[in-house]
Structure 1
Amino acid sequence: MPGNRRPFTAVLAANVVSITGNALTGMGVPWFVLQSTGSAAEAGFVALCTMLPVVLSAVAGGPVIDLIGRRRVGIASDLVCGAAVAAVPLLEFAGVLRFWMLCGLMAVTGLCHAPGETARGVLLPTLAGSAGMPLAKAAAWYDGAARCAGMIGSAVGGVLIALLGAQNVLLLDAATFAVSASLLAFGLRGLAEAQPRKRSVPALPRTYRRELGEGYRYVLATPLLLGICLMTLVTKGLDQGWSAVLLPVHVREDLGGSADLGLLNALFSASALTGALVYGAVAGRLRRWPVFTVAFLVGGMPRFLVAALTGTVAPLAVTMAIEGLAFGVLNPIMATVMYETVPEELRSRVLSVTTASVLMVTPLGGLAAGFFADSAGVPGTMLVAGGVYLLATLSPVVFPAWRQMDAPGPAAAGRQGLVPREPGPEPG
């Protein structure tokens, strides 16, 4: 019998709206910088300013999310990000925008992005249970919604930039954050797991440090989670360099401009959406480890190689469509493994830790890509990045801990005393 699908549907809709806006920002801001300065290095520096606060907030955000409540954090995150994005074009129209202001505003969006994303993500098992849906299928739908949003944003982003200008596109993005906040406020109302956690001890600094440390200890004691963090740490940095610098510069210099950028990103997102939905339909019949391993090998290195060796849209479009299909299965697999491995009471803390670990190198990805693109050229930078990507994606083949993806569970960490009991009074 179907359950209550309202919370799950509301979160999916909020994700579609806000991630569509993020896709517009992801295209609009680099394009705005390249139009204003012509410097790949400055575009990379803006990417650094955007992503570094994401890491910092993810490092420390887990206990804060539990304290404030997942619903409130999600709403506040959207509202603050929307205000910061709107300030960029408004300051530009007023003629007072400076490069340091742009960097600061993008840093604000980064600071609030990770807690909001984590607050929604940790609710997925609860939302799936409320909707009467298997977790693997819910994870595929959750990722599929994000892919759909990326597809929509990418499909219209390049055209909107060409028609309206990057500044007006950023105003449109700001409006999407307000819509997303409204959906969360309505959809998560009354959901117990989305409210602030009841505490038997006061929220003292040492309590916060203890709770923060529990998340890190759990990841370090679980080889599979640690392996996922280390591999995706490298690949996320390379992906950031690709999306924030290398692909926009390649499209601007060698292809047809912002419309081609939108086409390529839309093809990738559409294929990734297809991959996620197909995996959700057949997830119960497939072993996770071999599917994950092959998908990451197919989805990683080839786009760097093809872009470096060709100067036309068609080969890169075909490559990115194939890679999108492969990448569509990755997030549902990792999400399912994460939720099956980590106890509910630790999810905010552990997911914050894994987000921080995965993104640790990401802020440097755009900066390094911009520096090497300016100094060594875009094709050479792409070839080196693709080689590093290939080496990183071979780790599931080499290390046996990855085979635990087919039978994850909290036992390993639990045996080491890392699954918390009901907290009692703090000593001293």
Structure 2
Amino acid sequence: MTETKRGPLLLILFAALMAGAGNGISMVAFPWLVLQRNGSALEAAIVAMAATLPLLAATLIAGAAVDYLGRRRVSMLSDVLSGLSVATVPVLALVFGVQVINVVVLAVLAAFGAFFDPAGMTARQTMLPEAAEQAGWSLDRANSVYEAAFNLAYIVGPGIGGLLIAAIGGINTMWVTAATFACSLAAIAVLRLEGAGVPDREALPDGVWAGIVEGLRFVWHTPVLRTLAIIDLVATGLYMPMESVLFPKYFTDRNEPAQLGWVLMAMSIGGLVGALGYAVVSKYLSRRATMLTAVITLGVAMTVVAFLPPLPLILTMCAIVGLVYGPIAPIANYVMQTRSPQHLRGRVVGVMGSLAYAAGPVGLVVAGPMADRAGLHATFLALALPMLLLGVVAVFLPALRQLDRSYRIAMCCLS
């Protein structure tokens, strides 16, 4: 296989890495800018929620936008708008002074960026099957490396974000974030791939809303997709506050931004190893067993972290979380890509993503005030125990047995 045929896949992987790194830096920088002002976990939760609340609607719309407007075009537009949302922070500080960067401004900009990020992620993910075929890669391998690149982004992003905050401050760190989105934009701008351009409108419903409903209906009537979406919804609602509010609160109180970066890096390093290792693990362990191991282990690790042990143990638990959870996204991607028709692929990815994000704002609303009133230990524990219960319940879900059935990529319309 020539380098030219691998080019589209490599460009998609690079774009995913750069955009993911930008989001990783933002994940550290936005809460830090809020907490630096007054140390309020509630206000940090407000900003984190602002970056999460639009994701439910945005991901649904993103899936339809990809199917209606074209994958390459949507990916590029997403990078432009996401880059503008973070570049506005230092621009406002230069023009009006740092005092204008308050919780309202940060919440609005975080929400603006979050609204457009899912479109780029959905567009890149839906281009993988054609790019993998052109490169001569199996779909499992392409998904494994794609998710590894995403996890690598969250090693580079939060780690560099924490170090940059310590070195040049949170506001100037946003310039670096904007540059990563510019790199992603440049990669997709030169991409040429079958199926990435203007879609065939004859295969699509007349209205966008009708198209979204079609995607929702397809997911709901596909038991394995419906079950994966529910598991993601619950796990995201329990896990996201830990990463977006509780860890930033803990390390801000200790004035240790670099250690916050290390913790998030540990999760991503584990996720990188887990995602890359999925192609090998899948030869010996079923997809269902991998899924159950991930959810149960996540609950155990979160319970250990709830007791706020020394940093080395926190880092170890976070790395284990990433390691066992790393293969989950490649599995979900494979199921979506092989069970949905090509003309419906963007909306299926969008529906699955939006359902995964649906519980995030609820978790953040609960976790922020609870951390201020009951303390970090009690809040961590309140999130960890339901995660353990989720793992037990998942063992008895029959739809997860369909994870180990093989399907050809659905390229034609639904009958």
Distance 1:395 1:408, change over 3 A: farther
Map Cα deviations across residues 237-280 of structure 1 (whole Å, 9 max, x no partner).
Answer: 22220111011112233x56111111111122112111111112
Correspondence 1:70 to 2:71: yes
Aligned to 2:359: 361
In structure 2, which of residues 193, 197, 200 is the aligned counterpart of residue 198 of structure 1? 200
Which SS does the other structure have where 1:286 is aligned?
Answer: coil
Map Cα deviations across residues 279-321 of structure 1 (whole Å, 9 max, x no partner).
Answer: 12342443111122112211x2234322321342011111112
The CA distance in 2 between the partners of 1:306 and 1:166, in whole Å, is 30
Correspondence 1:106 to 2:104: no
Aligned to 1:22: 23
Q: CA deviation at 1:410?
A: 8.3
Aligned to 1:231: 231
Aligned to 2:314: 316
Q: CA deviation at 1:213?
A: 1.5
Report if the CA contact (8 A) 1:139-1:332 is conserved: yes
The CA distance in 1 between the partners of 2:255 and 2:27, in whole Å, is 18
AA in 2 matched with 1:39? S
Report if the CA contact (8 A) 1:341-1:408 is conserved: no
Correspondence 1:89 to 2:87: no
Aligned to 2:175: 171
Aligned to 1:404: 402
1:128-167 matches, within 5 Å, as 128-167=132-171
Report if the CA contact (8 A) 2:296-2:390 is conserved: no
Q: CA deviation at 1:127?
A: 1.3
The CA distance in 2 between the partners of 1:397 and 1:311, in whole Å, is 29
Which SS does the other structure have where 1:55 is aligned?
Answer: helix
Q: Number of residue pairs matched? A: 411
Aligned to 1:41: 42
The CA distance in 2 between the partners of 1:61 and 1:16, in whole Å, is 19
Distance 1:92 1:237, change over 3 A: farther
Aligned to 1:291: 290
Scaled by the length of structure 2, what TM-score is found?
0.94
Correspondence 1:217 to 2:217: yes
The CA distance in 2 between the partners of 1:258 and 1:409, in whole Å, is 46
The CA distance in 2 between the partners of 1:139 and 1:226, in whole Å, is 20
The CA distance in 1 between the partners of 2:37 and 2:406, in whole Å, is 49
Q: CA RMSD in A?
A: 2.2
Report if the CA contact (8 A) 1:245-1:366 is conserved: yes
1:257-296 matches, within 5 Å, as 257-296=256-295
Which SS does the other structure have where 1:133 is aligned?
Answer: coil
Report if the CA contact (8 A) 2:30-2:110 is conserved: no
Distance 1:210 1:410, change over 3 A: farther
- Percent sequence identity over aligned pairs: 34
Q: CA deviation at 1:28?
A: 0.7
AA in 2 matched with 1:100? V
Q: CA deviation at 1:10?
A: 0.3
Map Cα deviations across residues 42-67 of structure 1 (whole Å, 9 max, x no partner).
Answer: 11111111111121111233232222
Distance 1:201 1:227, change over 3 A: closer
Aligned to 1:122: 126
Map Cα deviations across residues 115-168 of structure 1 (whole Å, 9 max, x no partner).
Answer: 111111111111111111011111100000011111112322211111111111
Which SS does the other structure have where 1:316 is aligned?
Answer: helix
The CA distance in 2 between the partners of 1:72 and 1:14, in whole Å, is 14
Map Cα deviations across residues 337-387 of structure 1 (whole Å, 9 max, x no partner).
Answer: 221222222111111111111111112322321111112211101111001
AA in 2 matched with 1:278? G
The CA distance in 2 between the partners of 1:365 and 1:113, in whole Å, is 20
1:372-411 matches, within 5 Å, as 372-407=370-405, 409=407
Report if the CA contact (8 A) 1:83-1:174 is conserved: yes
Scaled by the length of structure 1, what TM-score is found?
0.91
Listed as ranges, the gaps of 5+ residues in structure 1 are 422-428
Q: CA deviation at 1:201?
A: 8.1
AA in 1 matched with 2:256? G
Report if the CA contact (8 A) 1:161-1:258 is conserved: yes
AA in 1 matched with 2:296? L
Report if the CA contact (8 A) 2:299-2:384 is conserved: yes
